[in-house]
Amino acid sequence: MKKPDERETPLSSIPPYIHASRPPGLHASTPPYLHTSTHLSPAPYLKIREVKPETNFSRLSAAEKNEFEKLKTPKRRDEWLASRLAAKELISEALGGTPDGIEVFSDADRKPLARAGGKEFYISLSHRDALCACAINRALTPLIGVDVEKIEKRSEAWKKDFFTAGEYGACAGSEEKFTETWTLKEAALKMLGLGLSVDAREAEIAGERVKFAGRALERYEKLGSPAIRWKSVRKENYIISVLWA
């Protein structure tokens, strides 16, 4: 029996992503997921980019350069810059314009926004070590979340802290499945505009559905309880998941 403060929403299979560019070796994870709604938003724009040291900062605005200079470590600078360049390239390729005419910044809640062609709209960014990603809802709404994670062995304590009992059982014995589930959870909470300000277990991946609880459920209902779609892809030893409505 469901708890009174929980609700499930279906996750769906989708046609292939419309990528501004599709990196070699990128493929959809399986199995397919089902949906029940016939009024589903189209697949988002997605850009996956390698994180590496950059020496050309001409695409950054004065405000972006100022933000970049505040970062203390080379690793953090490389990740930050790669994700912003991915966003600028994606917006340029998908919506038109030149990358150096696009600015990426954050709202008061630190959720990333882009300014391009006289419009401001929400985007989602993620990075982990050698890879970063940017995703944009085709309707240019905030209902988008992307997460990048490396497949690696994690402690049992971490798994039990961040996964529900159902998720733990479904992923048992597979670090890849734990990683994919984690990226979906993070992407879901990003889509809600909450991120990890709430308990990660408030977004539970349950087979073909995501279940929200607590503050995550409150936010989901405030947004109108939209039908949610997802996709996970693997590139080398990384999983990238995007979730949108």
User: What is the structure's pLDDT at 117?
Assistant: 86
User: What is the structure's pLDDT at 12?
Assistant: 35
Tell me which residue has tokens 């350069």: 65
User: What is the structure's pLDDT at 150?
Assistant: 98
Tell me the percentage of the chain whose pLDDT exceeds 90. Answer: 76
DSSP type of residue 98: -
User: What is the structure's pLDDT at 1?
Assistant: 43
Query: Which tens digits make up the pLDDT trace of 189-221?
Result: 999 999 999 999 999 999 888 999 999 999 999
CATH code of the domain made up of 7-244: 3.90.470.20
Distance CA 119, CA 34 (A): 34
Query: Which tens digits make up the pLDDT trace of 74-108?
Result: 999 999 999 999 999 999 999 888 888 899 999 98
Q: How wide is the angle at C-alpha 152 spanned by C-alphas 149 and 158, nearest 5°?
A: 85
Q: Mean pLDDT over all residues of the chain?
A: 85
